Every structure is written in C-alpha cells, then in structure tokens.
Amino acid sequence: MKVLVIDVGGTHVKFLATGQQQSRKFDSGPKLMARQMVAGVKRLAGDWKYDVVSIGYPGPVLNGRPVAEPHNLATGWVGFDYESAFGCRVQVVNDAAMQAIGGYRGGKMLFLGLGTGLGTTLIVDGIVEPMELGHLPYKKATYEDYVGLRGLEKHGLHKWRRNVADVVKLLVAALEPDDILLGGGNVKQLKSLPPGCREGENANAFVGGLRLWDGVAADKSRTTGAAGTRKRKKKSAKGKRT
C-alpha cells in the first residue's frame, strides 16, 4: 500500500509518498483553506501514485476529524470531506502527534514542536496523547506566543532560546518524561539542546504518517483532540524503534 503523507504547517505544506526520495512543499499561511491545500498537493503530486493519505493537522482532532479551526491558517478545515477530495481513505491526526509517532523509541516521551506555534504530544508506553499545551497561559501570553515563531520574531534569538529552555524545564517537571524529543523547523535555531533532550529528524512526520497505516504506531489521536476532555479508547504503539 502506497501512502501519501501531508504535513500541514503554519508556513508550509510538505508532503511525501511511499517510494519517493524527495518531499515537495508549497507555502501555507493565514489565507490557506483546506480545499486550497488539497488542490496544491494534487497539483504538485500529480505524478505520484498513492492508495491512502495521512494528514498531520495543526489543531485538535477527534475521531479522525479536525474539531477546531487552526490558529495560523484560514477557516474551512472543520467539516471538510478529505476522503472525497482525495478520492481515497484518509487519516487526519494532530501534526505534533504524527511527528512524535515518527520519532518514538518507547517508554514515556514528550514531543515539543518548535515551529510557527508550539506542538505538544505525550506518548506513554505506546499510547499517543496529543495535547494543546501551547495555548496555556505563560508569562503575559501563552507558551506559543513565547516559543513559537511570533516569540522568536518579537523577542529576538537570545531571549527566545532562554524561553525555550524555561518552557522545556516547566513541562518536563510537570509531565516527568524519560525522553524529550524536540522537533519543528525552529529547533535548528537553538545553540544547544536543553538537558535531556534530543533533536528530531526532518523525516519524522513522514515516518509517523506511514506508521498510521502499517500498525507500528497505532494512532490513539484519532480519538483525541485537546488533552483531557474526552473519554479515550486505548490503543498501543508496540514494536519498532526509529
């Protein structure tokens, strides 16, 4: 089975299909709607063959469907029929969860995605828990406002690095993971990683999207959105390490 994996971000939409060596991308931004994302992917991936699609969505997901519009894109994502648009089976999951699944090595892992915003996911013994911690209060705004792209641009690189170190310290103290994975486009801006952290691979999102279909990391995030607000049906992600 050939899988088309789509990673929807606040600045770019990146995608890769089974058997292809190089991902492709186009700009996203605050005017991008779901139908425009689909049109852009189908146009640029028109020469690729795929049977199913995995979409990493920058927001909470419940039962395989977005339940809130993204903070950094346009509206029109909630209620959109992705399977009809692509003409095949589609799994939609939280984007941070998809990256986390791709970099999971076992145990209790906290994933923090330093990108346009702050993506957060916790995986405990293979159980995937996407979270929306980036929108919780921090200092005079939210975590995302300080360690996301807005924070980098507003406060400068030096203060941004200090804020990242502080946020990591606070979340690690609260969640007590035994593995911390930092991903996202801005992780390269760190001079050094906070203690106990490792840097994710660029391909983690694509690996995670593939795993949604091969059963290596059965995705519990299809039954979750913002953490802690719904009853969850447990699934496991046993087996392979990256």
User: 165: part of which helix (H) or strand (E)?
Assistant: helix 149-175
Distance of alpha carbon 47 from the chain centroid: 26
pLDDT digits (tens, 9 = 90+) for 163-201: 999 999 999 999 999 999 999 999 999 999 999 999 998
Q: Is 158 exposed, middle or buried (0-12, 13-18, 19+ CB in 10 A)?
A: exposed
Look at residue 204 in the predicted model and tell me its pLDDT.
Answer: 95
Band of pLDDT at residue 215, cut at 50, 70 and 90: low
Terminal-residue alpha carbon distance, the chain: 20
Q: What is the pLDDT of residue 55?
A: 98
Q: Average pLDDT in the 193-222 region? A: 80
Domains of the chain: 106-199 (3.30.420.40)
Residue 233 clears pLDDT 80, i.e. is over it: no
- Give the residue among 122, 145, 144, 148 at the shortest CA–CA distance from 227: 122
pLDDT, tens only, 42-72:
999 999 999 999 999 999 999 899 999 998 9
